[in-house]
Amino acid sequence: MSKKTKKRFIAGAKCPECGAMDTLMLYFENNVEKLACVKCDYAETQTNDEVKAANKSNANVIGVFKPE
């Protein structure tokens, strides 16, 4: 099974992590819309607010690495 992901950049979008412009790309993975920055490791799942909120609260659990 080919795992083709359609990625598209969001024009004018600013990465909340590194602050770079036009580096955010939107793509689908397992029918979930995801947002990722190509410059840094920023990634976010863009679905609905409920999942977004859950994703945010999970970030502390999943994000084991600490930027120091």
Q: Report d(CA 2, CA 17) in Å as an integer.
A: 31
Task: Give the binding range for Zn ion (CB under 5 A) out of 1-9, 11-19, 27-35, 46-54.
Answer: 11-19
Q: Considering the rule CB under 5 A, would residue 39 count as an interface residue with Zn ion? A: yes
> What's the closest the beta carbon of residue 27 comes to Zn ion, in angstroms?
15
Task: Give the binding range for Zn ion (CB under 5 A) out of 2-10, 18-26, 27-35, 47-55.
Answer: 18-26
Contact in structure between 31 and 3 (CB atoms under 8 Å):
no
- Spatial neighbors of 28 by CB under 8 A, at least 6 apart, are 5, 6, 34
Q: Summarize as ranges the residues that interact with Zn ion (CB under 5 A).
A: 15, 17-18, 37, 39-40, 42
